[in-house]
């Protein structure tokens, strides 16, 4: 029963919450974004493309491979959705995100899980990215209050726990 309860609470924290079969809207938003991107003329030398197909807004900040804070809410939600379902393409990328702080403790293992929840424009759906801070941090003393808006950055990674693959940001830092 505890595994069921943990799964029911943890899955929304780590990106498995989805809007009811509304992926056509996400596909439309992605197609619209791709249609508005400009292509460099053939005679100029363009920089090499990153391994992950990211928009110019995401690569605008030189400190991050993917800066989700630069995108409007529907695009952020669509990109996080891609990160969950195409996680291998994002491995090792430095990601920056803004959202709501969430916390969960597994009652069986007493393991703590921390995440930033990112809502779509209508705030009806949320995707989450789990994060692990570098250093010796203690909850709740060294973390924000649950429900607080935070900006975080870290290295994108995945892990498998109890047969399920989860995404997370390692070496994460909460920005002041």
Q: Which residues form the domain of 106? A: 2-35+53-174
For tokens 């509304």, the residue is: 22
For the entire predicted model, the pTM comes to 0.65
Locate 140 and state its tokens. 């709740």
Locate 27 and state its tokens. 């596909």
Q: How far apart are CA 107 and CA 87, in angstroms?
A: 27
Residue 123 lies in a domain: yes
Residue 42 lies in a domain: no
* pLDDT per position as a tens digit, 148-171: 999 999 999 999 999 999 999 999
Q: How far apart are CA 12 and CA 118, in angstroms?
A: 11
Q: Taking a C-beta distance cutoff of 8 angstroms, is the pair 67, 61 a contact?
A: yes
Residue 41 lies in a domain: no
| Domain count within the chain | 1
Residue 91 lies in a domain: yes
* pLDDT per position as a tens digit, 2-42: 444 444 444 444 443 444 444 455 555 556 655 555 554 44
As a three-state string, the secondary structure of 66-114 is EEHHHCCHHHHHHHHHHHHHCHHHHCCCEEEEEEEEEEEECCCCCCEEE
- pLDDT reported for residue 131: 98
Q: How far apart are CA 167 and CA 152, in angstroms?
A: 15
Q: Taking a C-beta distance cutoff of 8 angstroms, is the pair 118, 164 a contact?
A: no
């Amino acid at each position: 029963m505890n595994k069921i309860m943990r799964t029911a609470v943890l899955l929304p924290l780590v990106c498995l919450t989805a809007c009811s079969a509304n992926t056509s809207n996400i596909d439309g938003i992605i197609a619209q974004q791709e249609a508005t991107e400009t292509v460099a003329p053939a005679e100029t030398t363009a920089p090499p493309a990153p391994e992950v197909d990211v928009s110019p807004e995401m690569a605008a900040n030189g400190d991050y491979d993917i800066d989700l804070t630069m995108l409007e809410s529907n695009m952020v939600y669509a990109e996080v959705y891609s990160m969950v379902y195409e996680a291998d393409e994002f491995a090792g990328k430095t990601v920056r995100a803004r959202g709501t702080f969430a916390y969960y403790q597994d009652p069986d293992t007493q393991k703590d899980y921390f995440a930033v929840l990112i809502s779509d424009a209508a705030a009806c759906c949320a995707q989450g990215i789990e994060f692990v801070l570098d250093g010796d941090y203690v909850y709740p003393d060294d973390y924000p209050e649950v429900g607080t808006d935070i900006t975080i950055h870290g290295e994108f990674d995945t892990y498998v726990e109890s047969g399920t693959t989860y995404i997370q940001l390692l070496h994460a830092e909460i920005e002041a």
